[in-house]
């Protein structure tokens, strides 16, 4: 980085820090994450809110900048290395000439609007460090897709020259139904677990509405969640070794939630610690989620199940606050391209149907292109999909031509020479409506 650009980045950080009373650290040259592509220059620093920044520019920089927004939300304390794994996971971007910036965010946990503000801060600092990019794209992965979808609605305003911070958005395996309904299957999971297993919370523990996640101030480790789950379902045992009650418990949990058995523990962990983060750190101990009028079907005894299941009504103010924080409105002004695995069991592909419906109501669906892939992977699908999607998005921004799914598939096939992997794109696939996969409220 030239001295002039380093000074510009320092002034940007320090001026912002003065307004927040926070000490910032301008990005400085630093080692890249071990295993990153060669010929990469990395910088590290902190923004005015204390978020750690990772910037990377390849020697063959193509003038493009990717602001990467990771998912989760991650609950571990933020560190300078928080986003190292993301650069390594999506190294295809920098290998193909894109510059990169990512932020740890100022705090772990939920908060979509705040996380979007942190992404915008990182985007601005990257420009001060590298110079003005020819094109800037935001890439949201998983829950990062929810952040990115809201950021391009609320934070992507044009400057005096009419240029927006991001000219395109790539949303991969993204949570796009909006937080007021995206986690309904996890509400159903926690409620069903109490009917079927009765151990989260257990009878000797403090009782609380399960949509609060946990009592105030508590966290639950993965191994403890798994211990409660496996004791009830026998999921750690061979099928023939499980008791009839365990087999019935697992089958009923799957029927109620439509979550595959192998994926239930991940959803249970989220509905424990992240529900608690939302309730106690954002909603003053109130629940934004509920199941008051859900009629559950498919269990071994629906009548008994529905009679016993805990019924919880969402707090109206908490629900409204959550909607304002993260529910997409469709008020977008830039091209958006999505990639989603059809068999993704962490973020159901029906999120894409919900998002398209939102944009159709807003009259902006012409700015959306959705690509569906025959994969079940969530954290990372086949490698050539990502650079192909990014190249197609760039072409859309620069030429105005909305790429067809077939064109993106051909781009993926071409990218295989650099990034080995299959291109199982399914042109013509249409996901079923959200309510067909998640119990309607």
Separation CA 31–CA 49 (nearest Å)? 23
Check residue 17 and give its pLDDT. 42
Task: Collect all residues with Cβ–Cβ distance below 8 Å to 309 and sequence separation of at least 6.
Answer: 191, 192, 194, 195, 291, 296
What local confidence, expressed as pLDDT, does residue 25 receive?
83
Cβ atoms within 10 Å of 148's Cβ, excluding its own: 31
User: Where are the domains positioned within the chain?
Assistant: 3-179+328-437, 183-323
| Dist CA 233 CA 82 (whole Å) | 34
Residue 91 confidence (pLDDT): 98
> What is the pLDDT at residue 438?
95
pTM score, whole prediction = 0.93
**The pLDDT value given to residue 23:** 60
Q: What is the pLDDT along the chain (441 residues), one digit of tens a residue?
A: 454 454 444 445 544 444 444 567 889 999 999 999 999 999 999 999 999 999 999 999 999 999 999 999 999 999 999 999 999 999 999 999 999 999 999 999 999 999 999 999 999 999 999 999 999 999 999 999 999 999 999 999 999 999 999 999 999 999 999 999 999 999 999 999 999 999 999 999 999 999 999 999 999 999 999 999 999 999 999 999 999 999 999 999 999 999 999 999 999 999 999 999 999 999 999 999 999 999 999 999 999 999 999 999 999 999 999 999 999 999 999 999 999 999 999 999 999 999 999 999 999 999 999 999 999 999 999 999 999 999 999 999 999 999 999 999 999 999 999 999 999 999 999 999 999 999 998
CATH classification of 3-179+328-437, choosing from 3.40.50.1820, 3.40.50.1370, 1.20.1530.20, 3.40.1160.10? 3.40.50.1820
Residues 249, 283 contacting (CB under 8 angstroms) = no
């Amino acid at each position: 980085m030239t001295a002039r650009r380093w000074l510009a980045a320092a002034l940007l950080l320090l001026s912002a820090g003065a307004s927040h009373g926070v000490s910032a650290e301008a990005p400085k040259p630093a080692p890249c994450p071990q295993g990153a592509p060669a010929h990469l220059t990395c910088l590290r620093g902190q923004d005015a809110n204390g978020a750690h920044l990772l910037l990377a520019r390849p020697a063959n920089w193509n003038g493009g900048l990717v602001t990467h927004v990771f998912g989760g939300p991650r609950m571990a304390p933020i560190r300078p290395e928080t986003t190292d794994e993301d650069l390594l996971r999506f190294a295809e971007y920098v290998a193909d000439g894109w510059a990169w910036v990512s932020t740890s965010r100022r705090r772990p946990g939920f908060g979509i609007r705040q996380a979007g503000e942190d992404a915008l801060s990182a985007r601005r600092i990257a420009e001060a460090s590298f110079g003005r990019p020819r094109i800037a794209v935001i890439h949201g992965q998983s829950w990062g897709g929810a952040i990115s979808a809201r950021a391009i609605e609320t934070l992507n305003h044009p400057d005096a020259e009419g240029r927006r911070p991001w000219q395109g958005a790539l949303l991969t395996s993204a949570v796009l139904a909006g937080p007021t309904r995206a986690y309904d299957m996890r509400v159903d999971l926690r409620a069903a677990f109490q009917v079927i297993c009765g151990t989260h919370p257990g009878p000797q523990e403090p009782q609380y509405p399960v949509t609060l996640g946990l009592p105030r101030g508590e966290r639950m480790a993965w191994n403890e969640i798994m211990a409660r789950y496996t004791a009830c379902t026998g999921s750690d045992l061979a099928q023939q070794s499980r008791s009839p009650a365990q087999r019935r418990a697992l089958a009923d949990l799957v029927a109620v939630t439509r979550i595959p058995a192998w994926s239930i523990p991940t959803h249970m962990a989220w509905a424990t610690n992240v529900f608690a983060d939302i309730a106690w750190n954002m909603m003053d101990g109130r629940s934004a989620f509920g199941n008051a009028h859900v009629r559950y079907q498919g269990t071994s005894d629906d009548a008994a199940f529905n009679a016993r299941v805990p019924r919880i009504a969402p707090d109206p103010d908490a629900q409204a606050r959550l909607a304002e924080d993260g529910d997409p409105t469709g008020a977008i002004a830039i091209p958006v391209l999505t990639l989603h695995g059809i068999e993704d069991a962490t973020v159901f592909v029906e999120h894409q149907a919900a998002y398209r419906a939102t944009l159709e109501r807003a009259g902006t669906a012409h700015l959306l292109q959705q690509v569906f892939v025959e994969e079940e992977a969530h954290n990372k699908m086949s490698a050539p999909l990502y650079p192909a999607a990014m190249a197609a998005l760039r072409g859309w921004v620069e030429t105005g031509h909305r790429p067809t799914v077939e064109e993106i598939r051909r781009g993926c096939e071409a990218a295989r020479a650099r990034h080995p992997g299959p291109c199982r794109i399914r042109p013509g696939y249409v996901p079923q409506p959200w309510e067909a996969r998640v119990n309607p409220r």
